[in-house]
Structure 1
Amino acid sequence: GVRGCGAVPAVGSSKAERPAGGCEGPHLSLQCAARIPEAGALLDLLEKCPEHQKKGGFPVVVFEGLDATGKTTVTQSVKDTLNGILLSSPPACISQWRTIFDDEPAPIKRAFYAAGNYILASEIAKASTQAPVIIDRYWHSTAAYTIATEINGKVQDLPPANDKVYQWPEDLLKPDLVLLLTVDPEERVQRLHRRGLEKTKEEAELEANSLFRQRVEESYRRMVNPACQEVDASPSKEEVLKTVLQLIKKHCAL
């Protein structure tokens, strides 16, 4: 089956235990591959990834957060400062299919992102033997957006804080540090408008639906093993970079 492919990812401790959500491996491969050729190619890539990836000797730092919280700027600056390797989720080798899967029903779309995390893990394993690895989104994004989509209503309606949905999957390479960039909602919307970019469906949803945004951010905050360390990304780029580098220095062997 496809690793980490449940409706709400990370429920259960192994790929066998995770809920199907209409999207376990056979479902993805047989039904989707017949209709979406890219699903077959994705599964081929996934099959080539060894299970239980081992991290190299260099630190692995993930940046999470909603769009327009400054992830792109910060990750690039940290990569340059540390002479690191910058990776992102979904990984480059499958990102050209993103628009195809984004138009699919939720379980198939989530399967794409979940599978992407396992493909990314093999890239992290290799890169972390060479240099510090900086990652623009990883498992926590997949989980937080899925939980917020699957559960309607207010933050109170989310699964309780100690629920298994907030656990990192046992068979997925873990980072050393996860930093969650946050800015207040008004500032974030202003940044999005300044960018003038076409919004993704999820971005439009976030803007239209502050409850959804709150569910995503609260889901991020409830993630454990590893938990997200929150960083206020409202100050200047220089200040945010300084804070981030101090956290990396404190938590990682550099």
Structure 2
Amino acid sequence: MADGIILLLCETSVHCAARIPEARAVLDLLEDCPEHQKKGGFPVVVFEGLDATGKTTITQAVKDTLNAVLLRSPPPCISQWRTIFDDQPTPIKRAFYAAGNYILASEIAEASTRAPVIIDRYWHSTAAYTIATEVNGKVQDLPPAHDEVYQWPEDLLKPDLVLLLTVDPEERVRRLQCRGLEKTKEEAELEANSLFRQRVEESYRRMVNPACQEVDASPSKEEVLKTVLQLIKKHCAL
């Protein structure tokens, strides 16, 4: 998987350097990452979900409660170029986010040697949005459950637990409106196209090795935090 990402970014940097000079910088960072990163002795917990499901609030609360390190995908070293790659053709855009996961793995490996690690999105987001974008139609048109597209990459550092935060569509839209932030292209698509949203959500649910543990994020922050901490205690050695 990483080799394919490097190849695509190499092609991008060679053929589109004048138009996307940042591709060369992403490639340099990716090539500097050691292969087959290994997790340290502390647990690594990923939070996934659509925008406005409470990831930012809950990840910060869990970080504070567990004295953990909080990381995000894409990592800060490349997130400054996110809007540039969001405007590129889908294959280049997805290569950027996939590369971000492998770069982030280096940060996870180091951080997990000294404290629990909480991550706001990781590989499952990249995969779920890619699958939902590549497949048109209804949920039934997605690759069947247990298809290899839902498998975690063998060469990517694996977390101990993945929690998928969910809220009903009406509540999610209400939260987005309260935030008053400019919508990303994908967020606008999620709002306008219920089939796309359903494909993303179902793709999350079909991920395996590790699978997502679904958490209803509709209750209060305190209730959701309590549920999340119980799951972390159950599945991780703290």
Distance in 2 separating the partners of 1:64 and 1:164: 20
Q: Secondary structure at the match of 1:226?
A: coil
Listed one character per residue, the Cα deviations across residues 164-214 of structure 1 (whole Å, up to 9, x for unaligned) are: 000000000000000000000000000000111111111110000000000
Find the aligned partners of 2:84 and 2:188 in 1 and give their Cα distance. 18
Aligned-pair RMSD on alpha carbons? 1.4
Deviation at 1:21, TM superposition (A): 13
Q: Deviations over 1:129-179 (max 9, x none)?
A: 010000000000000000000000000000000100000000000000000
Shift of 1:236: 0.3
Give the equivalent residue in structure 1 for 2:83: 99
1:21–1:107 Cα contact (<8 Å) kept: no
Runs of 4+ that moved beyond 4 A: none
Work out the CA distance in 2 between the residues paired with 1:50 and 1:30.
23
| Structure 2, gaps ≥5 residues long | 5-12
Aligned mates of 1:183, 1:196 — CA distance in 2: 18
Q: SS of 2:38's equivalent?
A: coil
Deviations 1:201-236 (A, max 9, x none): 111100000000000000000000000000000000
Measured against aligned partners, the alpha-carbon deviations of 1:7-51 in whole angstroms (never above 9, x if no partner) come to xxxxxxxxxxxxx999xxxxxx32233431100000000000001
Q: Is the 8 A contact 1:56 1:128 kept in 2?
A: yes
3-state secondary structure, aligned to 1:135: strand
Alignment partner of 1:154 is 2:138: yes
Relative distance call for 1:21 and 1:85 in structure 2 (3 A) is closer
Once residues 3 and 108 of structure 2 are traced to their aligned partners in structure 1, the CA distance between those partners, rounded to angstroms, is: 28
CA distance in 2 between counterparts of 1:143 and 1:30 reads 26
Aligned to 1:82: 66
Counterpart contact for 1:140–1:223, Cα < 8 Å? yes
Identity of aligned residues (%): 90
Work out which of the residue numbers 41, 64, 69 in structure 2 matches 1:57.
Answer: 41
Normalised by the size of structure 1, how large is the TM-score? 0.88
Q: In 2, are the aligned partners of 1:63 and 1:181 still within 8 Å (CA)?
A: yes
SS at match of 1:238: helix
CA distance in 2, matches of 1:139, 1:228: 12
TM-score normalized by the length of structure 2:
0.94
Distance 2:46 2:210 in 1: 10
What is the aligned partner in structure 2 of residue 225 from structure 1?
209
Secondary structure in 1 matching 2:40: coil
* Structure 1: stretches of 5+ with no match in the other structure: 1-19, 23-28
Contact 1:221 1:228 in 2 (8 A): yes
Query: Which residue of structure 2 aligns with residue 21 of structure 1?
Result: 3
Distance 1:94 1:202, change over 3 A: same
